[in-house]
Every structure is written in C-alpha cells, then in structure tokens.
Structure 1
C-alpha cells in the first residue's frame, strides 16, 4: 500500500546537520510516511548516514544536478499522495510538524503548502531577520503573488504530475511551481505552526552566489522585472539600517554590526549581478552557484497550536 506522505530530502555534504533532521522525523506523531533522499554528489559521510537510517537514496552527478531535477527525481521515486520537501540542514521544531504541514490539503483546491522557518544561534543575524519577514508567526492571508519554499514545503502529487518542477531554473523552482499552480486555479497555503530551524553556514561569497542564482531564476520567471544600481544602493542601505536598529534593541549591535553590513552587501550584490545576467548560464558558473565551497565551521505564538510537543533533541547527534 502506498504511503500517504513521502518526505524528500535533497542532500549535498550534509553529514553535520542530517542526523538531527532524521531524529526529528523519527519523533513525528504522524507515522504513515516514507523518506527518500536525493544526493547530488556528497563527498562526506552523508550517504553512509542515510544508509544507516535505512533511507532510500537516489544519486545525481554534479553534471546532472539542478534544483528542479532533484525535486522531480524525488517525486518520481516516492509513493505518497503528498510529497514533503525539507532541507537536509533544517529540522522540525515540533513532533506534529508533518501533521501541520499537511493540514491545508483538507481543502482540495490547495496544491502546495509551506511552513515557518527560523534560524538558530549559528545563523547570521540578517538571515534570521529575513526568515521573520518571509515566514511570520501568523498567516498574513492573501498575498500579492504566489510564494513557496522547498526548504519546508509539501505538494499534492496529482498537481506535481500535472505541472512538475522546471529543471532549467538555477533556483526558485518552488516559487515557479507555486506560480504555475495558481495560474491553473489551485492555491498555496502557509502553515506557520509547521516550523523548522533552517541553518545556513555560509562564507560571504557563498551568500552572494545564493542570491545571484536565485536572481537569475527570478529574471527567467519574471522577465519584466528590473533591479538597478539604485535599487542595490537603496535596498542594501535600508536593510543595514533596519538590521542595526533591531540589533540595538536586542543589545547585540556591537557584536553584529559588521556582519550585518557584509551579509546585506552580499545579498543585494548577488541580486544585482543575477538580474543583469543575460543569455545561458555558463557551466562553470552554474557549477559554482550549485556547489559552493565548504561552509565555515521567547517567540510569539504561532497561528494555531502546534500538534505534539517539541522534539526532544539530544545535545549531541
């Protein structure tokens, strides 16, 4: 009998974070699900960890990889009516995470749902601010444009079979999926109680490249959009000042001031460079954008009560 839900984990050198995610999955109150991993060329212990946990793993070579292709491969290999995507460097906060993420599918018109993301003490201050802006504690209701993020999301299988993920994009395959689903009369739901901790450990150049590849994809998705040098200056300066104010209120400005400037500079420089990219993306650039260098080693109530308690993570995993 088919599992009602399939969890697809996309992996690349995730040995440090992966055990925490797998532990969180093992503690979910929902039990009727399978786990499928798509590994895109890990050179660390990621394949061994997946094998030790009995996770069915599919492999992509670096030359075959794109975010959309890894999503489609995971979907093809899975059996669930609903397909959940979670980043290998994210982990659920609550034991009812899966239940909360899938709850919106009670509405037959929902094609996809996505949950809340937060950082931890290792996350960049500005990254945590981005998570708070993009994933509020309460559902803000109707938005001006479709949104979804495959670090913590779920899709209905029959809609995926209908439209699939675009394998040619350098990122934002989730946003593109949501856009095309809505164009076909479906809807996308936000499930704030389905919370994960999503940890990026990135050097400044890696932050720039992440936002650059997403901007390249966004230019493909929305070709009329523009991002000028003035936009770069205005948004970079405005966000730095806003982050400094937030850091001052939290009493951490002296510690975070420089890191805030570097992060926001890299974020908007990457966006500026990506939005100016024309023509096909060279394979050498694509490889750099997909395979970055090794990383450097009391909240408001959510919208509704999360199912189950917090996952009791051991100190060491």
Structure 2
C-alpha cells in the first residue's frame, strides 16, 4: 500500500480549510493508495484546529516565535508516514477529483522528484492582476522536463527521498519551495509542472499584504539567484508593462472600468515590494522576524493620532506587514 501525506500549514484558516479538506478526501485514487491528512498549526485562534480534526487530520503545533515557512513544513514531513509528501495551502481547493493522482503520477513513475500543479483564481475574489500572474506561470500544458527550479508550494508534491536529502530551509523568509527545488536540481533531480493538477488559489489579500509577500520573496530570491538584479529601472519597466498588459486584457474582456484602478494598485505593490526586497540589505533579528511573520496591530495613543515621523525597522515591519501563510 502506498501512502500519500497531504500537509497543510495554517494560521486562522477556518474560512476555506473545510472546503480544501473535503476536496482532498474526495479524490479518486488507485486502490493501492491511501491518504493521510496533516495540519501544522502556528497558533490559530479560530476554528481551524476543530475543522482539521473533524476531517481526520493529524495536528502538529509550532509556536509563533519558532515559526518559519520551512520549519513548519519540516515538522509536517517529519510527522508524516507517506512515501509521497504533498503540500497545499489551506486556502487552495483542488479543482477536480483527479488532482492528487495527476500531481503524484510523475513521482511514482520516477520522472520527477518534485512536482507542482496549476493555479487559478476565484472569480470575484482574486485581484484581476493576480489572475494574470496565475495564467502566466501556470499554463495549460504540463512540462515534466522543465529547466530550472521554479515551483510553488501552494500546490506541490515531492518524494520523501528528495525532501529528506535536503529538507526545507528553516531560515528563509519565503520561497522555501524554490530553495529546496534548487538543491534537488543541483543534485541531479528533476522538477516538473503538472497542468492537470490544478487548484483554486484564494488569496484574500489587502494590497499591503501583497506588497509584503513580494518583498519577503524578493529577500530570498536575491540570495538563491544573486545574478538577478532588480533596480529602479527594472521597477519602472515591469510596472509599465504589467499595467499596460493588464489594462489591455481587461478592455478585451470588457472589464476595463471595473478593474483599472485595482490593476494599477496591485502591480505597483507587486513591483515595489520586489524592488524593496532586492535592494534591502539589512538582516532581520529574531525579534524582527516575529514581527515580520506575526504583525500585531500598531495601536496609536489617543493623544497622538498621527504616525511618528521616524520608526525603527521593527516598527516599520509592524506597520507594513499583515502577511498570512
């Protein structure tokens, strides 16, 4: 019997977790395949844990102070018994009942060591520009012999052997999937894209959260691909191209007026976050990392309704970051 471990990491994900788990449990699998569900929770205060337990999840816990994206996944993998490890965001819902079989098939066949599936947005929820990002990176054709190490852990799978040989980096502030993929490729492994293993990725982000996500990922990108630079000229070039292309597509769909302002705002936050991350040279202290991953609301004193003119780095992270997993 082959065991597939589906690993979620979560913080207050009650809104979509139930739908995601139902879709996982409804998968059509070969008779010799069984599924175990694992959730790594980092301090949820809503019904996340109860929902997970109702659907048969084995729940592991990690404290907020110890949380990193890579560490939480390593905890889940350590607790899993599966031959194949599947990673899916708690706000991603498989699009079909054959999602899982498609995702792990190249692993079982020995064609790939690490696979990732397609992503689409949810109409009425996903920013128009993010839907264009999904369409750009997750096409309709699979590529099991892709060059490089691009992948995305919102919807991915790896053999236990490939994960165990390298494990997720527990210090990076994002892109832990690509850090692992780079190590796998460097050791002679193969990353593959499986178009038919698609999920609906529901990012209910504010624009500030979008900025923080791209900032966080750029911090890591500059380390794993130091040859790639993103200067102010690149920011202006990408911003102009992104906005222009999105507006043209919105006009083609007769949705120009509906999305125009959001397109401009989203693309600005995306590329400004990328620019700042690539050109930020500080290192986060442990205290700052906690603020970074777990921002708390900055409360203003009644007698001081305006922001102070100066902030240290930790305060900046407080004020800017409202990131989620």
Tell me if TM exceeds 0.5: yes
Residue-by-residue CA offset, 1:164-212 (whole Å, 9 max, x unaligned): 1111110001011111101101101111000100010111110000000
2:162 to 150, 159, 179: 159
- Which residue number in structure 2 is paired with residue 148 of structure 1? 151
2:92 equivalent to 1:102: no
> How big is the shift at 1:288?
4.5
- 1:35 is matched with 37
1:22 and 2:24 matched: no
* 2:313 alignment counterpart: none
1:283 Cα deviation after fit: 4.0
Match of 1:240 among 232, 238, 243: 243
Secondary structure at 2:289's aligned position in 1? helix
The answer to whether 1:9 aligns with 2:12 is no
Q: Quote the offset at 1:47 in angstroms.
A: 1.2
User: Counterpart of 2:289?
Assistant: 286
Q: TM-score, normalised by structure 1?
A: 0.88
1:142: how far off?
Answer: 4.9
Q: CA deviation at 1:108?
A: 2.4
CA contact (8 A) 2:143 2:194 kept: no
Larger Cα Rg: Structure 1 or Structure 2?
Answer: 2
- In structure 1, the gaps of 5 or more residues are 295-317
| Corresponding residue pairs, total | 293
Q: Distance in 1 between matches of 2:251 and 2:7?
A: 39
CA contact (8 A) 2:102 2:197 kept: yes
Aligned counterparts of 1:21 and 1:119: Cα–Cα separation in 2: 14
Q: Distance in 2 between matches of 1:120 and 1:40?
A: 26
Note closer, same or farther for the CA distance 1:284–1:249 as it changes in structure 2 (3 Å cut). Answer: farther
Q: Please say if 1:217 is aligned against 2:217.
A: no
1:272 aligns with 2:275: yes
Deviation at 1:144, TM superposition (A): 4.5
Distance of 1:245 and 1:284 partners within structure 2: 44
Distance in 2 (alpha carbons) for counterparts of 1:6 and 1:42? 22
> Deviation above 4 Å: which 4+ runs of structure 1?
140-144
Residue matched to 1:60: 62
Counterpart CA distance in 2 for 1:228 and 1:100 is 39
Task: Let me know the Cα RMSD of the aligned residues.
Answer: 1.7
Q: What does the per-residue CA deviation read over 1:121-166, in whole Å, with 9 as the maximum and x for residues that have no partner?
A: 1100011100010100112565452111110000000111111111
Instruction: Single out whichever of 30-39 and 15-24 deviates more from structure 2.
Output: 30-39
Offset at 1:225? 2.3
Which secondary structure does the structure 2 equivalent of 1:195 belong to?
strand
Which of the residues 67, 78, 81 maps onto 2:80? 78
Q: Secondary structure at the match of 1:196?
A: strand
For the 8 Å contact 2:23–2:97, the answer to whether it is kept is: yes
Q: CA deviation at 1:289?
A: 3.9
Q: 1:172 aligns with which of 158, 168, 175?
A: 175
Secondary structure at 1:57 match in 2: strand
Give me the whole-angstrom Cα distance separating, in 2, the residues matched to 1:16 and 1:141: 33
For normalisation by structure 2, the TM-score amounts to 0.86
- Partner-residue secondary structure (3-state), 1:168: coil
* CA displacement 1:249-278 (0-9 Å, x = unmatched): 111110000000110000011101111122
